[in-house]
């Protein structure tokens, strides 16, 4: 455990959010995971979801590493055929949230706590109320969802689960716009990827 803590606190390391735009292909997630495994890098959170672009999926991967390592990871991921674009950002550069659910005994919490005050002070809401248990839901940063765990422990917290992180880049103009511009671009000399392409007749004439 002490070795793990030393790794997490190593100089230059911080949390990075790696955003991957990709086609939805079978086996891609496994290949991306292998990139991290080979470098012995732990993935703290992984979320996959549809993106703002039809048929394009978006991965959000959270790691605790140096900027240099994250750059190398991003370049390696971008080499995958199905991957369209990869961004990486610090926590300060994204807006992010996690969802958490808490299950507690209904009779105990009703008897020992002001449920309305509990919900209001912690930004939570009751999503299921049954005779034997009540489920609360809250969203926020890790510190906020962890805080509610401590509050509910004295009331016999039965179960807790937290989702992977979802994040939006603050200052990005969006991959959607860039993709649309690329689709609308007319072929011509300025967009030619091969400097010899427009001289094909000269080059291949014997």
If DSSP states are collapsed to H, E and C, what string results for the chain? CHHHHHHHCCCCCEEEEEEEEEECCCCHHHHHHHHHHHCCCCEEEEEEEECCCCCEEEEEEEEEECHHHHHHHHHHHHCCCCEEEEEEEEHHHEEEEEEEEEEECHHHHHHHCCHHHHHHHHCCEEEEECCCCEEEEEEECHHHHHHHHHHHHHHCCCEEEECCCEEEECCCCCHHHHHHHHHHCCCCHHHCCCCCHHHHHHHCCC
User: Can you give the pTM of this predicted structure?
Assistant: 0.76
**pLDDT tens across 118-174, in order?**
888 889 999 999 999 999 999 999 999 999 999 889 889 999 999 999 999 998 677
Question: Are 108 and 156 in contact, with CB atoms under 8 Å apart?
Answer: yes
Work out the pLDDT band at 12, boundaries 50, 70, 90: confident
How many CB atoms are located within 10 Å of the residue 116 CB?
9
What is the model's pLDDT at position 183? 58
What region, left, alpha or beta, does residue 73 occupy, with left being phi > 0 and alpha being psi -120 to 50 degrees?
A: alpha
């Amino acid at each position: 455990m002490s070795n793990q803590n030393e790794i997490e606190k190593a100089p230059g390391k911080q949390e990075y959010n790696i955003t991957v735009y990709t086609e939805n292909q079978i086996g891609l997630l496994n290949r991306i995971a292998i990139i991290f495994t080979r470098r012995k890098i732990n993935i703290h959170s992984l979320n996959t979801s549809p993106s703002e672009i039809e048929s394009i999926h978006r991965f959000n991967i959270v790691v605790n590493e140096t900027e240099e390592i994250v750059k190398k990871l991003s370049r390696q991921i971008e080499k995958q055929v199905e991957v369209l674009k990869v961004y990486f950002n610090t926590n300060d550069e994204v807006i992010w949230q996690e969802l958490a659910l808490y299950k507690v005994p209904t009779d105990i919490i009703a008897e020992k706590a002001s449920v309305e005050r509990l919900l209001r002070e912690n930004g939570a809401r009751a999503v299921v109320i049954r005779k034997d248990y009540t489920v609360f839901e809250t969203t926020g940063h890790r510190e906020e969802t962890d805080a509610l765990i401590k509050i509910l422990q004295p009331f016999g917290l039965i179960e807790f689960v937290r989702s992977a992180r979802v994040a939006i880049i603050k200052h990005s103009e969006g991959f959607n716009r860039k993709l649309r511009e690329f689709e609308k671009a007319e072929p011509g000399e300025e967009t030619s990827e091969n400097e010899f392409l427009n001289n094909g007749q000269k080059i291949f004439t014997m």
